[in-house]
Amino acid sequence: MQLFRELWHTIVTYPLLYLLFLAALLISCAGFIVMARRWASGQPARRTDRPLRRIGGALLSVLAQTDTLRRAYGGTMHVLLFWGAIILLVASAFTHYVVPHTPRAKANELIHLALDVSMLAGFVGLGLAALRRYVLRRRPSTTEDTLTLALLDVLLVLTLAAEGVYVALADPPWADLAPLSRMVGALADRVPTATQRGLYAVLWAMLHLWLMGIIAVLPFCKLRHLITAPLAVLFRDLEPKGSLPAVDLDAAERVGAAQADDLSWPLLLGLDACTECGRCRDACPATRSGKPLDPQRVIVDLRQRAVDGNRPLAEIIGAEALWACTACLACEDACPVFIQPWHTMVEVRRERVAQSRFPAELQPVFRGLDVRGNPWGLDATRRADWATGLEVPVLGVGEQTDVLLWIGCAAAYDVRNQRAARALVKILHAASVEFATLGSAERCCGDLARRLGHEYLWRELAEDNVATLRARRFRRIVTLCPHCFNTLRHEYPGLGADFEVLHASRFVAELLRDGRLSLVETEVGKKHQAAYHDPCYLGRANDEYAAPRRLLQAIPGLTLVELKENRRRSLCCGGGGGRMWLEESPSQRISARRTAQVVASGADMLVTACPYCLTMLDDGVRDADSDIAVLDVLELLASALR
């Protein structure tokens, strides 16, 4: 210990090291201050509410690495690197600042053991990173990636070398508990003691100079996420996943985002918080189907080219990529630090629509929504024709019912989806539910217009529907469409329409639970295997995975088959975000990829709970020349009613 104190006073108290450390700290702080000023140039957003939930969630996510560990390989790698670095810093601080000044350091053995464990964790973590990038090539690597790994590698090597030489010099009692340091110490024992002293001094100085260098370049390399990622988690969006932020159309000077400073400050923070882990890219159905959209590339390009150069965001993203997004939320759900690529792109879509710069195929869609209240522009007075021959009451102004059945555009006008609506009516009658519809008074809920970026049209449709709903009395709304469900439940309350809204699968599952429905084995369910496809806006956006499965499991004789990608990792059907109305190359159809997974599952039925999914996957099955039956879960259940 005396030897260590002598070396400590010889090296550390040297004024140059303190000056260099101060300089490194100032450079790093200056870089982060410039970064923070860029965030502050963005638009205001409410991200300081619910502080206890924010802080608790941030601590859990950062310290326990809960969101990172959702992927085994990458999560393990990151945990090893993260906790290896934390233990290394804490153990080094104790070794260099606390232990040398205590008369009897009983904790010395544990401290150096921790230091050894941290180095082992760091080497394994860096090894996994290098294996993934340069051998398995699961991630494309840039020069910055290589330099970042090199920075950390050199830091660990210098730490291990310094510890090893110290073991050779002092032969401390804790050495047997530090196998890595003991191994290097055995090598150092081969040179004279005087050489060891000089070598230790040089290694110790190099280690601290290297660490100061890392501190200095922190805001200018990928390691910036050590600071920015926890901030992004702390200021994450706590609103429901499927909702979009409201726009004050009366006060806004511009709708959407043309330049970087038109984005909200949390979205700008997200650009700097990106770790480039690739999880958003892996999850994106557009990327996987070969479309020119890569959510990670969008974030990185915006960080590198929009913020500094203030170039138009639409130009950086590219028109094809901008309109390729299905708004499925897979990228945002996969991100361990809650970055929002989709929210960023919808802001750019809003600006493009406001400037009338959108795909030509969308012109009749917008016109149909505006004039006739549906995306096909079909006669609004025929909206209730689907119910011909059924006992379906229409709720008039001032009238009252228990359940208001919101049909949605697809079930009202699309012949294939009308079968699901008629099945729901059959189920409601069997359970003696008092219900009614809005008939021709219902208009599109506005989900399509909003996710395509037409905020004015969304507001017009939503306000008309809110006025219609307020003029009637009911206990709750039940809808077949997850997109309608998400919009009515999460976005209409912002317009003063806070109703209880249930998806039909959840409502029917409650009827089954309460014993109001009785099912029998039929030819439809007998000995069939049904693969269930999770719709994005029912599952990922609203965490409803159980209800549709309960319905399928209740059908006598039916076997539920889980697809390879299910629940929150379900692959999008390809129809959301307006894509159902946009042309695409057959080789890039997302529905074809999902259909291939269904065929591989061995199921003879494909069941879902969304009209978009039903349409897209029905087309996918026909394109694949397969005889798999595609059904809504309510069609299947209705066929098994006693």
Over range 14-25, report the average pLDDT. 79
pLDDT at 316 over 50: yes
The DSSP bridge pattern shows strands 501-503 and 435-437 to be unpaired
Decide: 322 and 349 in contact? Cβ < 8 Å: yes
- The second-level CATH assignment, the architecture, of 363-513 is Up-down Bundle (1.20)
**Residue boundaries of the structural domains of the chain:** 2-232, 253-354, 363-513, 529-639
pLDDT in tens, 439-464: 999 999 999 999 999 999 999 999 99
Provide the pLDDT for residue 164.
87
Tokens of 374: 């549906």
What is the per-residue pLDDT for 199? 86
CATH of domain 529-639: 3.40.50
For the chain, the average pLDDT equals: 89
Residue 340 confidence (pLDDT) above 80: yes
pLDDT digits (tens, 9 = 90+) for 523-573: 665 668 999 999 999 999 999 999 999 999 999 989 999 999 999 999 999
Q: Give per-residue pLDDT as tens, 588-603.
A: 899 999 999 999 999 9
Q: How far apart are CA 212 and CA 478, in angstroms?
A: 61
Q: Is the pLDDT of residue 396 over 50?
A: yes
| Tokens encoding 263 | 């984005």
Q: In what order do the strands lie in the sheet with 435-437?
A: 435-437, 400-406, 473-479, 501-503
CA distances from 614 to 292, 295, 532, 603 (A): 25, 26, 11, 16
Pairwise CA distance, residues 233 & 47, whole Å: 11
Total residues belonging to the chain: 642
For residue range 144-201, what is the model confidence (pLDDT) as tens digits?
888 888 888 998 899 889 888 888 887 877 777 788 888 888 888 888 888 888 888 8
Which listed CATH number (1.10.3720.10, 1.10.10.10, 1.10.1060.10, 3.40.30.10) goes with 253-354? 1.10.1060.10
Task: Work out the pLDDT band at 503, boundaries 50, 70, 90.
Answer: very high
**pLDDT: is 6 or 456 the higher one?**
456
Cα-based angle 345, 350, 352 (whole degrees, multiple of 5): 95
**Residue 482 pLDDT exceeds 50:** yes
CATH class, domain 2-232, is: mainly alpha
